[in-house]
Amino acid sequence: MKQAKEPFQFMAASYLVRIRRERAKTLADMARFLRTCSEASIFYHTFQSLESHHYSAFSSDFAQWILAACNEAALAERLATVDLREYVSLDALRSTLAAMVEEHIQENPAAADRPAFEPFHFCESTDVTVPLDRQAMNLAELAEGIRSLGLQSLHYHFITSRLRLRLVTNDFSHWIAYSLGWPELASQLNRTDFHTNTLEGVRAELLQTIEPWVSR
């Protein structure tokens, strides 16, 4: 079995939700706060919310609020379909989201100050990561580690990693490409769609992709 140059270190990642002071009561408020809120807030309401929205229409908190509280379905759809996989910087993501809301207000001035049904409370997550007693030196060990990760830790390694690495990739693919030397598998794994899937679904797909390569 092929051995890696460097071990893959599994981490236990968890986060606590901190409630910020910003509260948007109109679309105009939302446009303004999207420009000024913390990057941690942008992260929480987009990347982090992917983990918790299995039942609502959209995985972005911003999109969900604009649909449910502002009744602006077209704008909500545009925000919801921003592909987070393409972003390695929260500032770039912030610009995209804010520009979409500003553009919508420009085209629909009456929507700007119409009161929302309920306010949007900006939150942010405070992360804590702890190294686990588990490393992988080959694909079989990586698969075993993925199988035994908690959901928040899987989210950390596969989804938020692109912000940490500032690359359009994830921890597993990065390690497979550079430490194990299999860029093709790395690329296959990176195509797993976390946007429209639950984290358990992502886990199953990752393991299914890795499985045929384990015996090589």
Partner 1 sequence: MSSPPTVVRAPRLDDYAAILGHPEINELRALAHRLAGRRVRMVNSTAVGGGVAEILNGQVPLMEELGVPTKWEVITGGDAFFAVTKAFHNALHGEPYDGRPEWLDIFLATNEENRRRMQFDEDFVVIHDPQPIALVDARDGSRGRWVWRCHIDLSHPNAQVWDFLRPFVERYDAAIFSSPSFTHDLPIPQYLFFPTIDPLADKNRDLEPELIDQVFERFGIDRKRPVITQVSRFDRLKDPVGVVKAYRIVRKYDDCQLVLAGGGASDDPEGEAVLREVQEAAQGDPDVHILNLPPWSHLEINALQRGSTIVLQKSLREGFGLTVSEALWKKKPVVASAVGGIPSQVIHKLTGMLVHSVEGAAYQIRFLLSNPDFARRLGDYGYEHVKENFLITSKLKRYLLLCLILQQGS
Q: List residues near partner 1 by CB under 8 A.
A: 12, 14-19, 21, 52, 54-56, 118-119, 121, 123, 126, 128, 130, 132-133, 148-153
Report, in Å, the least distance between residue 102 CB and partner 1: 24
Tokens of 163: 């912000």
Q: How many angstroms separate the CA atoms of 11 and 196, rounded?
A: 24
Report, in Å, the least distance between residue 9 CB and partner 1: 13
Q: Which residue, 66 or 123, is less far from partner 1 as judged by CB?
A: 123
E strands within the chain? Answer: 8-24, 120-136
Q: How many angstroms separate the CA atoms of 64 and 53, rounded?
A: 10
Report, in Å, the least distance between residue 61 CB and partner 1: 11
Crossing angle between the packed helical segments 90-107 and 73-80, to the nearest 10 degrees? 160
Report, in Å, the least distance between residue 79 CB and partner 1: 19
Residue 63 CB partners (closer than 8 Å, separation 6+): 76, 77, 79, 80
Q: Which residue, 69 or 100, is less far from partner 1 as judged by CB?
A: 69
